[in-house]
Amino acid sequence: MSSFVEQLQAWQAGIDKMLAKRPERKKQFATISGLPIDRVYLPEDPGQEYADKLGLPGEYPYTRGVQPTMYRGRLWTMRQYAGFATAAESNQRYRYLLEQGTTGLSVAFDLPTQIGYDADHNLARGEVGKVGVSISSLKDMEVLFDQIPLDKVSTSMTINAPAGILLAMYIAVAEKQGVKPEQLRGTIQNDILKEYSSRGTYIFPPRPSMRIITNIFAYCAQEVPMWNTISISGYHIREAGSTAVQEVAFTLANGMAYVKAAMDAGLDVDEFGPRLSFFFNAHSEFLEEVAKYRAARRLWAKIMKERFGSTNPKSMMVRFHTQTAGCSLTAQQPKNNIVRVAFQAMSAVLGGTQSLHTNSMDEALSLPTQEAVTIALRTQQIIGYETGVTETVDPLAGAYYIEHLTDEIERRAEEYIARIDEMGGAVSAIEQGYVQREIQEAAYDYQKAVEDNERVVVGVNKFVVKEPPPSGLLRVDPKVREEQAAALAQLRSERDQKAVDSALVELKTAAEKDQNLMPHFLSCVRVYTTLGEICGTLRGVFGEYQAPTTI
């Protein structure tokens, strides 16, 4: 007991010091009715069990959040995932979002880019610019970030198999703006394991992919120290149909595989550990979601400390981005999605997210229109500025149900992790199709529950109305592919081909000889070697992944 009092005093002293440098958003916090709001509320008599399981915000095991003042200091980063068609059109959308008060960029790439094909590749037919922006070379990347100062924004890029190459392009664009790599802030998703299990944009087999990832960890620790080198993602696992428990378990199991691979490659856990970040889904079961984030934080902290011997608190913290659940949106009565998204976003905030994307109401139908994106962003702003849930840290802590769910999700996730350990870790479990099967069974169970009306989806199996087909959806002009192909042809004729050829030869050697590939990605992109050429060379060395069929 007395030890907790001491801990509390030390925590308070730490906050006083921190506030002297960086004050909270307001001098005093109060409700709309004028009731004062404390920074954090504790049990009247916090015992050892409280200290062990919940502790103080910003302290191990981080159940109550990774910062001591949470949103009293600063709101989460409002980061809307966007990108479509050409780099020029996406650049306009980013500049619009920045003007509207979004505080970080989040780049969506089209599928050819994500799978390492140039826009003029045969397999890119029909796909160019459809689900994101088409980037085939540094030239496109220069246009994408035109007039956006890369030392001022933080940029998240949803890119996995070719993540190192796109990061190299980002570094090269920054250099042209006079911005140094050590000033860059942002995230590459770079989480290949969930691509095999849930999202599908893999290129190479797991083992060389893990090697590229550890190359990126090692390079960025030295050269791009503020960059989040991976965003270990449960989001897509959940979208593929998993339960909340599976989302936590499979995400942390993947995280453990990355940590182990990096340590096996000789890196120190506390050198790369602080740059690991996470990405979770915000689904519709409101209170379960709040508990999920808290359970994930506590469990990861324990894993890093006890299993990997981390001693740096920053390595133990789950800093995470959240996106509301795309799979929960309905094509029927799409305006209802605004309400779904608001509840989901609120759960992420009550769960202590560091950044948030709110989906747009029309995303079950197509990419979002500007109007829909604006409403989605306003939803976050209303939660942040109007509802008051930001004024005290972890406001739902101590609720019997929330703490029960937090314990239960942690316990069940640990059981899954133990099973995955027995299989030899996440890489083996995925290679054996175990994770895929678990997810697809959960997805089918959910679908059957909806079809048997055990689970109500408003507008889909209850409260159904006849409605006219939606209009005004965002369309991507199919001409984008021809334009991109023409631009590529021109690029190939104008660039220094000799420099390209020799950069590719060096890349191939480095890939064969197990050298760090990041410097080679940089020398390739600087001379306008295309993404497809770089990935093609690596395909030649590493081969391509062949997925097991699990149905």
CB of 474 to another protein, least distance (A): 10
Any contact of residue 118 with another protein (CB under 8 A)?
no
The CB-of-422 to another protein minimum distance in angstroms stands at 25
Tell me how far, at minimum, the Cβ of 32 lies from another protein, in Å: 38
Q: Considering the complex, state which of residue 160 and residue 392 has its C-beta at the smaller distance from another protein.
A: 160
* CA 372/CA 50 separation, integer angstroms: 43
Q: Which of 130, 275, 297, 340 binds another protein (CB under 8 A)?
A: 130
Per the DSSP assignment, residues forming a β-bridge with 155 are 105, 186
By the rule CB under 8 A, 284 interacts with another protein: no
How far, in Å, CA of 300 to CA of 248, rounded?
10
444 part of the interface to another protein, by CB under 8 A: yes
Q: Binding to another protein by residue 458, rule CB under 8 A?
A: no
- In the list 14, 73, 200, 225, the residue contacting another protein (rule: CB under 8 A) is 200
469 counts as binding another protein under rule CB under 8 A:
yes
Q: How far is the CB of 291 from another protein (least distance, A)?
A: 24
Angle made by CA atoms 266, 203, 551, in degrees to the nearest 5: 110
Vertex 113: Cα angle to 477 and 218 (nearest 5): 150
Cβ 282 vs Cβ 234: under 8 Å: no
**Concatenated DSSP letters of 165-227:** HHHHHHHHHHHHHT--GGG-EEEE----HHIIIII----S-HHHHHHHHHHHHHHHHHH-TTE
Nearer residue to another protein within complex by CB, 95 or 437 = 437
| Binding pattern for the stretch 353-392 against another protein, x by CB under 8 A and - elsewhere | -----------xxxx-------------------------
Interatomic CA distance for residues 544 and 535, integer angstroms: 10
**Residue 240 lies near another protein (rule: CB under 8 A):** yes
Identify which of residues 179 and 327 has a Cβ nearer to another protein in the complex. Answer: 327
Contact with another protein (CB under 8 A): which of 345, 372, 427, 457?
457
Would you count residue 547 as binding another protein (CB under 8 A)? yes
Which of 59, 118, 120, 127 is close enough to bind another protein by CB under 8 A?
Answer: 127
Q: Are 340 and 329 in contact (CB under 8 A)?
A: yes
Q: Does residue number 233 form part of the binding site for another protein (CB under 8 A)?
A: no
Binding mask 328-357 for another protein (x = CB under 8 A): -xxxx-------------------------
User: Are the C-beta atoms of residues 358 and 100 closer than 8 Å to each other?
Assistant: no
C-alpha 233/C-alpha 201 separation (Å) is 14
Please give the angle made by the CA atoms of 401, 407 and 412, to the nearest 5 degrees: 120
Contact pick of 115, 252, 256, 393 for another protein (by CB under 8 A): 115
Give the residue with the Cβ less far from another protein, 117 or 258.
117
Q: Is 485 in the site for another protein (CB under 8 A)?
A: no
d(CA 233, CA 191): 7
- 331 or 399: whose CB is closer to another protein? 331
Quick one: which of 415, 451, 501, 512 contacts another protein (CB under 8 A)?
451
CB of 122 to another protein, least distance (A): 8
State which H helix or E strand residue 423 sits in.
none
Q: Which CB, 108 or 252, lies closer to another protein?
A: 108
Interior angle at CA 455, CA 454 and CA 460, nearest 5 = 115
Number of residues that bind another protein (CB under 8 A): 46
Q: How far is the CB of 172 from another protein (least distance, A)?
A: 26
User: 10 Å Cβ neighbour count for 317?
Assistant: 26
- Contacting residue, 103, 428, 432, 440, with another protein by CB under 8 A: 440
Contact residue for another protein among 42, 98, 131, 399 (CB under 8 A): 131
What is the DSSP code string of 272-302?
HGGGEEEEEEE-S-HHHHHHHHHHHHHHHHH
- 466 contributes a contact to another protein by CB under 8 A: no
CB of 461 to another protein, least distance (A): 8
CA distance 65 to 448: 36
Q: 165: how many CB neighbours lie within 10 A of its CB?
A: 27
Nearest Cα residue to 200 out of 150, 160, 143? 160
Q: How far is the CB of 162 from another protein (least distance, A)?
A: 13
| Helix-helix angle 206-223:518-526, to 10 degrees | 80
According to CB under 8 A, which residues from 291 to 320 bind another protein? none
Mapped onto helix, strand or coil, the DSSP state of residue 231 is strand
Minimum CB distance to another protein, residue 327 (Å)? 7
Q: Select from 19, 443, 491, 500 the one that contacts another protein (CB under 8 A).
A: 443
Burial status of residue 115 (CB atoms within 10 A of its CB: 0-12, 13-18, 19 or more): buried
Q: Is 265 in the site for another protein (CB under 8 A)?
A: no
Q: Does 433 bind another protein (CB under 8 A)?
A: no
| Structure tokens belonging to residue 531 | 């993404």
In this structure, which amino acid lies at residue 481?
R
Instruction: Read off φ and ψ for residue 499, nearest 5 degrees.
Output: -65, -40
- ∠ CA 430-296-17 to the nearest 5 degrees? 140
Query: Shortest gap between Cβ of 486 and another protein (angstroms)?
Result: 18
Task: Pick one of 23, 149, 470, 543: the residue that binds another protein (CB under 8 A).
Answer: 470
Helix 163-177 × helix 206-223 angle, to 10°? 20
Give least dist CB 447 to another protein, A.
5
Residues 238 and 281 sit within 8 Å (Cβ to Cβ): yes
Contacts with another protein by CB under 8 A lie at 111-112, 114-115, 117, 123-127, 130-131, 195, 198-201, 239-241, 327, 329-332, 364-367, 440, 443-444, 447, 451, 457, 460-461, 469-471, 473, 476, 478, 547, 549, 551
